[in-house]
């Protein structure tokens, strides 16, 4: 990708549409696009979906693929949500409000990051079905307050990020981009308290008991994000989780963590249908979504594609990206003879 | 390949002969050469044949390899047919007439596409053994009329394309090339009816019951093209198919569909000799053909090589390409100690 | 790497810090960086760590990773030692004194090469926990004298290099760099004897009986370096070794020897906890160290990174490189949910 | 390789010595260096040796590796022979006389091609232990006469090429190089008969009965060259062969034939020690030789390296190349702890 352009990644666009974003700061782009360590996992995520091959059916009479799905009580046009990512305000003046509006317009879910550029309440007002992502801050009371506020504002679920006991340093330098400082400033403004950087940094002592605590405060289902192991999935469910999100934080935390497409089947087997299993990391096309669903995911989340679409086209860009993803998924389903996302179809993958 | 040249792909030419086609429209070339999605399957098809290795025999006394074969009642000089592809008139003024003539001259089969540039009857007059490819149009009566006309004109079999409930968008832009419009115009002229685009587009509701319906109307054997799965092969035979063609539409329908060389063995095993199994996709040399036969195919089809040869040399070019392919196959057979294509020789593949 | 620069290889540096060493002789750089044969093993060593993937845990409550470890009686800040390499004086005027000082400052171990640029006693005075590496010279008495001197000077263990019955020629020409001559000159000066090149060259007749002989002379534990096979590990322990170091001499002896990451598990299984198993070769980041420990190594050694750090920054450079490595390891442990290096954690590797 | 240079391929030379041969005709170079088809097998041969990894022993006390071996009654300095290749006169005025002299000087075997540039008797006078390669010509009497002449001149064995029922076309054009014509001219001169091209071309009807016929005429052991299959090895031994040579004709006959390193183990297992198994194809270094021996070969043959050395340095060049190969082998053996080539050492390969 050239230094100042974003493109929608779609199969349908022929050729793929490229939108130049002349005003985008290279440091912001590197902050959003980069990963930790040697960016091994960042690259591996995308590749792991692409190596899978389909064994499509012929002459099935599937006229229209049903992509609609119910997820934790919400009806979605497709099993796709916008993943929680920090500071949408860096790429668009309306920040998360625009992203949430785009997701709602496309009938997809939206997960708001704790590190939002915009107050929770403002986003909630613009959103369709949305969830709130949280991590354990050292100031536990503040953590719980935020979750309670999200619940009050209408969040339908809480997503607890489990893979970030500390924030891993990133590979690429991003001069002038300081998400921790922006986060701290936002929380000071929100609370009127003289919070310190330590108060709001990740609390590595957090364990699975936090799952039930969050659920109690919010009165909402809690999903754990960052699960890459079968035993951890079981631990989280045992501790009260309503679902798990297979994720390696988009290659931004432990570099060389297994690609999510490779971790997914083990987690699906461990959960055994007892709760929703979602997945993110490197999903860029409808074919990627179809692979994820075939491997047993109930839904997927897309992070960087949403940021790119937001940067390129605001709320409309986000909606368009998500609709394209849904159309690509529907097309791939029809071509593969898969009638609906609501029933398992593991055999659509070759071998 | 440079933008305006085609070459015959042969082992024997040393170096491979390159024929410049200065007048070929880049959009036409991209229409013929391109694929859907990210063109993963397009590339995978060729590669999957090339990775296989031979374990040739020594001192067998095989003096001449017998490539002749009977296929559905026709005697072919080699188990090779020209695959159905659309609109040969785009690359040569004589269109499918020239292609059919070239195939006949080389003693190979020809499969005429529904999307022919030239009336069925004109092609039939020029052809040797030929089959007619059809897909289910929304106007079912028209579909059956075309098949009946093909049967009347002397087609020896019907090939029902099963992998195209809808036409997948292609990767490369092809400004000015509109196969659907050309197809519609041709059918309007043929029928004298005011057909709409919807009438002649693919009917995704078509199921395997269409196999027997086509057979009844045509009084001909029906092969299903696009089969990539063992269970689908069995379904098609149960529904009356006289054979199956393992194909992913040359990488033009579901991208990331399994390469045909990888799908072939499972289909062969499922069919178990009960009917012919053909294969296409990425076959470019006689060595590719030998691999396909060793994996259990009864014959192969070549699509893009025929279009390239047609563009470069008309009917003579097509004949020359097919003869070269036959010679390459015969040479590889002699070198491998395989006396004839009519008996299985799976052990010529290493491991 | 450009011809006259070294860089610290770290995950944390973002971007990785590059230090130009304008005065470094290219022949010295090639002597340190190169390998034998076609440098297949040199390259394979690094790659073999990087292909492994982690399956990190979530929500473990691991607040701080314990990297401290006891190794053969010494307390190390991390299970990391500087590997024995020849002639540090080529890259820094203080030679091994600076390296040893840097290792001590970082709390890591140091293994002094027989081919030291500086007298053993001077290095000993500067070092923290240190071991002495020796190979069997044809002058056996001299060999034993050196080991005895090292023991007297405070070495905590002897490392017997077992993979060098003769010195393999290197791939890259290094005009003006003659380690054998430098070594001979140093030993002549030390002993006052008129030693010949043959006296001090490798004695290929050396067998495992030398292990006990060295142990007796030194009164110290003896580890064998260069072990790549399970049966050799058992042979060495049976012959009195106190531990083994899985190594292929950094790709400088038998080219195409198996990468150490691939040899390690078999050796670990053969040793079965009866003695420490260390490993070197291609370890460049804390993630590499974590892989090695997960595969069962008790500690790792780094050679070229220490030389690069010494060239770039002297003792401070070495200390900084080692501290960075320790920090990277600790970070990866926290992110993976591994609380301490002292207990096995094989399941942190995916599959 | 640049267009007019040859280099000795050695591990020991550091850097590898490159000898420019300004007068070498590019068509000759392409004739010698090229292969058939798409040159897949040509490339695969070299790669298949290089991917294997060694598991060397430590502290074995092996002081000097014994590379000497007895092969079919001859004592060789190393288990290495010059493979039969056509028309050495193209690259050196003394042709096969120089090659044979070089091989003798190095203590290695020499296999003279039927397509020799020089009369058999002249080569015999210059050679050490040598064998005569023959293929079945359509003029069978002539075939037998040549073999008888070779036997009379002192050949110690006959090598029957079994993989060439017809000569495969080569990939690269070689204008002005016509080996068949040169061969015909040589045989006309030798016999004084008005032979035709057909008389001396390959006879594809030849079977394994030719093995005993050649043995009877020559009174010599007959080895079959080109064996890539276990069942063929058994067939040849049953038909009287004294040994087999695993070969794919250096990638010049059936392209995509399995690499010899991959075919070797199956042949070795089938022969089970009942006769010598030799191998050629892509062997370029002593490490390659060690892999071949570890996989069970009794000896190896090198073709292109001999032609390159002949072009670069005549008889001395050939001797030097072979000595280097022997030295590389001996070095690798000492480093791996392999004392002699006369006893099996399969476990020196990792896994």
pLDDT recorded at residue C325? 94
B74-105 residue pLDDT tens? 999 999 999 999 999 999 999 999 999 999 99
Strand ranges (DSSP E) for C248-348?
277-280, 299-302
Contact between chains at A60 and B228 (C-beta distance less than 8 A): no
Q: What are phi and psi of B303, to 5 degrees?
A: -105, -70
Mean pLDDT of A47-63: 96
**A249 counts as catalytic:** yes
Number of folded domains in chain D?
1
User: For residue D330, what are the domain limits?
Assistant: 5-341
Contact between chains at A334 and B204 (C-beta distance less than 8 A): yes
pLDDT recorded at residue C23? 66
Residue B140 and residue B203 in contact, taking contact as beta carbons nearer than 8 Å: yes
Nearest CA in chain C to A203: C63
In the numeric block, which tokens belong to residue C280? Answer: 């070197």
Nearest CA in chain C to A166: C335
Q: Is residue A12 over pLDDT 90?
A: no
| Average pLDDT score over chain C | 92
Q: How far apart are CA D72 and CA C236, in angstroms?
A: 40
pLDDT band at C1 (very low <50, low <70, confident <90, very high): very low
pLDDT recorded at residue C24? 78
pLDDT recorded at residue B2? 37
> Does a cis peptide bond (omega within 30 degrees of 0) precede residue A15?
yes
Percent of chain C with pLDDT over 70: 93
Interface of D with B (CB under 8 A): 36-38, 40, 44, 160, 162-163, 165-166, 168-173, 204-208, 210-211, 224, 226-229, 232, 235-236, 248, 253-259, 262-263
Give A-chain residues touching C291 at CB under 8 angstroms. 256
ipTM of predicted assembly, 2 dp: 0.94
Tell me which residue of A33, A31, A81, A37 sits closest to A182, measured CA to CA. A31
Considering just the CA atoms, what is the radius of gyration of chain D in Å?
A: 19
Contact between chains at C285 and A38 (C-beta distance less than 8 A): yes
Cα within 13 Å of Cα(C99), Cβ side: 36
Domain assignment of residue D174, yes or no: yes
Nearest CA in chain C to A262: C350
Contact between chains at B57 and D208 (C-beta distance less than 8 A): no
Contact between chains at C287 and A37 (C-beta distance less than 8 A): yes
- Is residue C152 marked as binding? no
pLDDT recorded at residue C177? 92
Give B-chain residues touching D38 at CB under 8 angstroms. 11, 50, 285
Residues of chain D with pLDDT under 50: 1-20
The single-letter DSSP state of residue C36 is B
Question: Taken in order D295, D297, D302, D303, is the CA torsion positive or negative?
Answer: negative
Contact between chains at D204 and B287 (C-beta distance less than 8 A): no
Q: Is residue A24 over pLDDT 90?
A: no
Q: How far apart are CA D56 and CA D348, in angstroms?
A: 6
Interface residue of A46, A54, A58, A328 to substitute, partner B, most B CBs within 10 Å:
A58
In the numeric block, which tokens belong to residue D56? Answer: 């060397």
Q: How far apart are CA C274 and CA C238, in angstroms?
A: 11
DSSP track, D269-326: HHHTTSS-EEEESS--SHHHHHHHHHTT-SEEEESHHHHHHHHHHHHHHHHHHHHHHH
Domain assignment of residue D351, yes or no: no
* Touching chains, B (3+ CB pairs < 8 A): A, D
Mean pLDDT of A300-323: 93
Residue A335 and residue B166 in contact, taking contact as beta carbons nearer than 8 Å: yes
A244-277 residue pLDDT tens? 999 999 999 999 999 999 999 999 999 999 999 9
pLDDT band at B7 (very low <50, low <70, confident <90, very high): very low
- Is residue A250 marked as binding? no
Q: Is residue A351 over pLDDT 90?
A: no
Interface of A with B (CB under 8 A): 11-12, 14-15, 50, 52-64, 285, 287, 291, 331-332, 334-337, 350
pLDDT recorded at residue A4? 40
Mean pLDDT of A296-322: 93
Instruction: Identify which of B20-24, B239-243, B319-323, D20-24 has the greatest average pLDDT.
Output: B239-243
Contact between chains at C207 and D11 (C-beta distance less than 8 A): no
Nearest by CB: A350 against B166, B169, B258? B258
Nearest CA in chain A to B138: A63
C179-188 residue pLDDT tens? 989 999 999 9
CATH number at residue C247: 3.20.20.70
**How many inter-chain contacts (C to D, CB under 8 Å) are there?**
98
Q: How far apart are CA A114 and CA A87, in angstroms?
A: 9
pLDDT recorded at residue A1? 35
pLDDT recorded at residue D346? 94
pLDDT band at B351 (very low <50, low <70, confident <90, very high): confident
* Residue A105 CB neighbour total at 10 angstroms: 17
B248-289 residue pLDDT tens? 999 999 999 999 999 999 999 999 999 999 999 999 999 999
D1-21 burial code (b ≥16 CB/10 A, e <16)? eeeebbbbbbbbbbeeeeeeb
Interface residue of B207, B208, B256 to substitute, partner A, most A CBs within 10 Å:
B256
Q: How far apart are CA D87 and CA D32, in angstroms?
A: 10
Give D-chain residues touching B336 at CB under 8 angstroms. 254
Mean pLDDT of A13-21: 41
Give A-chain residues touching C335 at CB under 8 angstroms. 163, 165-166, 168, 253-254
Question: Taken in order C73, C79, C82, C84, is the CA torsion positive or negative?
Answer: positive
Q: What are phi and psi of C50, to 5 degrees?
A: -70, -20
pLDDT recorded at residue C5? 43
Q: To the nearest whole angstrom, how far is the Cα of B350 from the nearest Cα of chain D?
A: 7
């Amino acid at each position: 990708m050239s230094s100042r352009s974003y493109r929608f990644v779609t199969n349908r666009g022929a050729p793929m549409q490229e939108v130049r974003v002349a005003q985008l700061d290279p440091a912001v782009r590197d902050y959003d696009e980069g990963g930790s360590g040697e960016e091994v996992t960042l690259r591996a995520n995308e590749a792991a979906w692409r190596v899978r091959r389909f064994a499509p059916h012929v002459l099935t009479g599937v006229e229209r693929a049903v992509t609609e799905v119910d997820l934790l009580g919400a009806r979605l046009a497709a099993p796709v949500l916008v993943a929680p990512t920090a500071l949408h305000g860096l790429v668009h003046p309306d920040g998360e409000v625009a992203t949430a509006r785009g997701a709602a317009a496309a009938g997809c879910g939206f997960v708001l990051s704790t590190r939002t550029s915009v107050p929770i309440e403002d986003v909630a007002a613009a959103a369709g079905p949305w969830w709130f992502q949280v991590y354990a801050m050292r100031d536990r009371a503040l953590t719980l307050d935020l979750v309670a506020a999200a619940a009050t504002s209408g969040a339908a679920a809480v997503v607890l990020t489990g893979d970030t006991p500390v924030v891993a340093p990133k590979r690429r330098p991003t001069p002038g981009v300081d998400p921790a400082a922006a986060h701290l400033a936002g929380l000071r403004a929100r609370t009127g308290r003289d919070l310190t950087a330590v108060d709001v940094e990740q609390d590595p002592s957090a364990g699975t008991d936090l799952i039930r605590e969050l659920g109690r405060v919010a009165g909402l289902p809690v999903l754990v994000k960052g699960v890459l192991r079968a035993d951890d999935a079981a631990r989280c469910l045992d501790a009260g989780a309503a679902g798990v999100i297979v994720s390696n934080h988009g290659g931004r935390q432990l570099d060389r963590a297994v690609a999510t497409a490779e971790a997914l089947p083990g987690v699906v087997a461990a959960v055994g249908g007892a709760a929703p299993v979602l997945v993110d990391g490197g999903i860029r096309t409808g074919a990627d979504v179809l692979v994820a669903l075939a491997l047993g995911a109930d839904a997927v989340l897309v992070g960087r594609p949403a940021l790119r679409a937001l940067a390129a086209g605001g709320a409309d860009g986000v909606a368009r990206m998500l609709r394209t993803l849904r159309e690509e998924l529907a097309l791939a389903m029809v071509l593969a003879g898969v009638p609906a996302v609501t029933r398992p179809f593991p055999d659509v993958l070759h071998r």
